[in-house]
Structure 1
Amino acid sequence: MTKAEQVLNWYMELDINVQLPEDIKVLNPYRDMSATTKDALVEFYARFYGDDKPRKLLMGINPGRLGAGLTGIPFTDTAALRSVGIEMPEVNTTETSAEFVWKLVEAYGGPERFFGDWFIGAVSPLGFIRLNDKGNWVNFNYYDDAEVFEMLKPFILDQLKLQIEIAGNATDAYLLGTGQNAKAMKTINDEYGLFKSITALEHPRFVMQYRRKRLDEYLDKFISILR
């Protein structure tokens, strides 16, 4: 079975069997995906993961509303897909984190080389939104509430094991997010011993929002570590 087949089978069966608080909803882009959006998803993975070669494992936090929460592909918006000739006609979005990651992909040597070396996933492959005090639904991370984190742990553990298998029995994890994501992953790894090592890098959104003037410096840092 190719990596593409493994990933797509996993995505199409993704669900969370957890009774979350009423003010939190799950973002599952795969559940009601249109035929044309699914075609683009299949094309992406068939093109870049149509083999059985092992990859190293790079993980974000969880999908956001404007990136993987719509496209189903971590750190990839429709602008990034368009750059490799893949169209999602019913979805149109740009996302800050995706912009950084795709600059990284190009600096690494292009998508064939990058995705040939790396599988990008997420600690939680499904995302969340929470109703705030103003009545707006906003992004919510799996670690933002200690009680919710404990509720999600069994789901997250299962998904981490699946991603380890998909990558090719990865023994090391590379994380995007040096703060709460790294802290939460350390908690999980201390408890379950999934990885020999965890290397945390700054989250793309942090770089683009607060360190954009040093973008080239961060790209060089990421390349030196990921290569």
Structure 2
Amino acid sequence: MLSNKITDFLFGLQFPLELRLGVEVMNPFSDAETARVVNVFYNKYYNDDNPRYCIVGINPGRFGGGVTGVPFTDPIRLEKECGIENSWPRKQELSSVFVYDMINAFGGPEAFYRKLYFTSISPLGFTKGGKNLNYYDDKILAQRVIPFSVESFRKQIAWGLNTSVAFCLGEGENFKFLSKLNLEYKLFEKIVPLSHPRFIMQYKLKTKDVYIEKYLREFGQL
């Protein structure tokens, strides 16, 4: 089952290289509550062998996937939208708000996760000085992420994921990095960029529905 392959992958994640001073790896999967929730989530939505299309984010953040272990899913959305009770403080994460508004417009979590699978350039997150750090914001980190990223993608693709198209969250640095990676390592046939949920919620909130419609148009072509 795909659910078992995903959880085995996540629980086995380790960043293979030393990081520069002040940069720390964020690995939520060693936490008992996160492990429980991750098992429940993937057994609920991925307990089959159907191929999915990838949506590729940056790396987990501290208040969404960095807590719950489920990409773009904060503790509030985890319980309210996915029906998975959890013990974490009810902290909202902006990207998660957009993602679940979009998922509900798609037809709800069951319909969405039946076709699509969230992953990231780096499936582990990073912090510096206690704050989120995107891999591309540190040039040395960006270089050190490459072998980890390629190995992670190859492991995930080997499950039978659909590689005819992947969707990249972020039309700037993340898309540039993924495109370069893809050119060299031939991971996907095509990459479609989408505005990042955080960018939409922070800077384009008044036109959020326009962005949701764009997501749905792109996914509707699958």
Do the aligned residues in 2 keep the contact of 1:108 with 1:114 (CA within 8 Å)? yes
Question: What's 1:175 paired with?
Answer: 168
Shift in alpha-carbon separation, 1:165–1:171, aligned structure 2, 3 A:
farther
The aligned counterpart of 2:199 is 206
Aligned with 2:149 (options 151, 156, 170): 156
- State TM-score, norm by structure 2: 0.94
Count of residues in Structure 1 that have an aligned counterpart in Structure 2: 219
Gaps of at least 5 residues in structure 2 are none
CA distance in 1, matches of 2:213, 2:16: 41
Partner SS, residue 9 of structure 1:
helix
Contact 1:3 1:51 in 2 (8 A): yes
- Measured after TM superposition, the shift of residue 91 of structure 1 is 4.9
Q: Provide the C-alpha distance between the structure 2 equivalents of 1:58 and 1:45, rounded to a whole number of angstroms.
A: 16
- Of 73, 91, 94, the match for 2:92: 94
| Shift in CA distance, 169/222, structure 1 to aligned 2, threshold 3 Å | closer
Q: CA deviation at 1:172?
A: 2.0
Deviating beyond 3 angstroms after TM superposition, the runs of 4 or more aligned structure 1 residues are: none
Contact kept? 1:172, 1:198, Cα under 8 Å: yes
Give the aligned residue type for 2:5.
Q
- Report how far residue 96 of structure 1 moved: 0.3
Deviations 1:95-131 (A, max 9, x none): 0001100011100001110000101111110000012
Consecutive unaligned residues in structure 1, runs of 5 or more = 132-136
Query: What RMSD over aligned residues (CA atoms) do the two structures have, in Å?
Result: 1.3
1:167 CA displacement:
5.3
CA contact (8 A) 2:163 2:187 kept: no
In structure 2, how many angstroms separate the alpha carbons of the residues matched to 1:110 and 1:64?
Answer: 23
**What are the residue-to-residue correspondences of 1:10-29 with 2, within 5 Å?**
10-29=9-28
**Following superposition of structure 1 onto structure 2, how do residues 180-199 of structure 1 map, counting pairs within 5 Å?**
180-199=173-192
Q: 1:30-179 alignment to 2 at 5 Å?
A: 30-31=29-30, 33-34=31-32, 36-83=33-80, 84-131=82-129, 137-166=130-159, 168-179=161-172
Which residue identity does 1:187 align to in structure 2? Answer: K
